[in-house]
């Protein structure tokens, strides 16, 4: 049975959220001792060392960063021609070269089971770019990014399946978000991820057998990824930190099937010319921290 919903005001908009859920109770500033009582949240010690503060934003004073206590995701990192990537990037952003003539596009399905804004799913299409101000060979930067578990990207699409997530992304971050049906299932029966077009018809579906997962110690492999984009005509960087706990990674997977049925994400992937899946990542259990956009002085204003 679906949970009861209640109307709340968020960024000047009326949105429906689960009654008695995290946003209804905590308004993005949860008492962590209360969260710790939620068995679905798991161990939350990671978040206790990260203070939330009230900061100014495009949607008014806001508690930040945003906490994602229990998440999962699957990502297909694909090769795409540099010529097509450059045509999709605003100047002066530059795609990071992976192989001669090719860069990288990441298609990621996220499921946020327990978070400050209540459960939702999300799909990201992003081009991996050079770190702003970087110099020297691309291959050295790529190897350094892999070593440090830190990448820069420009997001082209970020649809979600709840209204509060859409409003927060569009008005708080100026991200390309829209509302549609998204599913992600990671189980012993395999992996199934899908997104529908806005008319409800199928758009993109990803299926794969479940690889052998391994559990690692919490906070032993933190990664920091940074999205670069324009917010009100100025370059901003938005960082998110991931604390993976159960995961798997496969290079040049042969058993990942990606089907495109012609919706907006399909059209975007086709326009980018994506081809070979270079790496397939499965994260069955992770925690995440998402920061608000902040200034990036290395790039000029538009």
pLDDT in tens, 93-109: 999 999 999 999 999 99
Residue 297, pLDDT > 90, answer no
Q: Residue 278 has what pLDDT?
A: 96
What is the pTM for the complete model shown? 0.95
Percent of the chain with pLDDT over 90: 89
pLDDT at 228: 97
Read off the pLDDT of residues 40-72 as tens digits, 9 standing for 90 and up: 999 999 999 999 999 999 988 999 999 999 999
Please report the domains of the chain, with CATH numbers, ordered by start residue: 5-295 (2.40.400.10)
Q: Does the pLDDT at position 144 exceed 70?
A: yes
Confidence at 1, pLDDT banded by 50, 70, 90 = very low
- Residue-wise pLDDT for 109-136, tens only, equals 999 999 999 999 999 999 999 998 888 8
Per-residue confidence band for 4, with pLDDT thresholds at 50, 70 and 90: very high
Residue 146: pLDDT above 90?
no
Q: Give tens-digit pLDDT for 81-95.
A: 999 999 999 999 999
SS (H, E, C) the chain: CCCCEEEEEECCEEEEEECCCHHHHHCCCCCHHHHCCCCCCCCCHHHHCCCCEEECCCCCCEEECEEEEEEEEEEEEEEEEHHHHHHHCCCCCCECCCECCEEEEEEEEEEEEEECCCCEEEEEEEEEECCCCCCCCHHHHHHHHHHHCCCEEEEEECCECCHHHHHHHHHHHCCCCCECCEEEEEECCEEEEEEECCCCCEEEEEEECCCCCEECCCCCCCEEEEEEEEECCEEEEEEEEEEEEEEEEEECCCCCEEEECCCHHHHHHHHHCCCCEEEEEEEEEEEEEECCCEECCCCCCC
* CA distances to 17, 26, 88, 124, 213 from 271, in Å: 35, 42, 9, 15, 33
If one compares 181 and 296, the residue with the highest pLDDT of the two is 181
């Amino acid at each position: 049975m679906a949970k009861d919903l209640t109307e709340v005001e968020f960024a000047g908009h009326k949105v429906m959220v689960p009654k008695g859920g995290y946003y209804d109770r905590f308004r993005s500033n949860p008492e962590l001792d209360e969260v710790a009582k939620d068995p679905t949240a798991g161990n939350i010690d990671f978040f206790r060392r990260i203070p939330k503060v009230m900061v100014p934003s495009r949607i008014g004073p806001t508690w930040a960063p945003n906490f994602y206590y229990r998440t999962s995701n699957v990502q297909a990192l694909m090769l795409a021609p540099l010529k097509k990537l450059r045509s999709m990037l605003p100047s002066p952003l530059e795609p990071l070269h992976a192989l001669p003539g090719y860069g990288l596009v990441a298609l990621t399905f996220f499921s946020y089971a327990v978070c400050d804004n209540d459960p939702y799913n999300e799909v990201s299409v992003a081009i991996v770019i050079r770190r702003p101000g970087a110099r020297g060979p691309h291959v050295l930067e790529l190897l350094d990014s892999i070593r440090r578990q830190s990448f820069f990207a420009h997001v082209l699409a970020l649809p979600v399946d709840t209204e509060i997530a859409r409003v927060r992304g569009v008005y708080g971050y100026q991200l390309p978000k829209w509302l549609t049906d998204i599913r992600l299932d990671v189980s012993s029966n395999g992996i199934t991820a899908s997104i529908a077009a806005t008319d409800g018809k199928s758009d993109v579906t990803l299926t794969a057998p479940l690889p052998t997962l391994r559990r690692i110690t919490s906070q032993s492999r933190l990664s920091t990824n940074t999205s670069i984009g324009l917010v009100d005509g100025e370059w901003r960087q938005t960082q998110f930190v991931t604390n993976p706990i159960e995961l798997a990674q496969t290079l040049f997977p042969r058993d990942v099937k990606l089907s495109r049925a012609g919706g907006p994400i399909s059209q975007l992937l086709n326009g980018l010319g994506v081809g070979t899946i270079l790496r397939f990542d499965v994260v069955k259990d992770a925690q995440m921290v998402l920061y608000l956009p902040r200034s990036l002085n290395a790039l000029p204003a538009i």
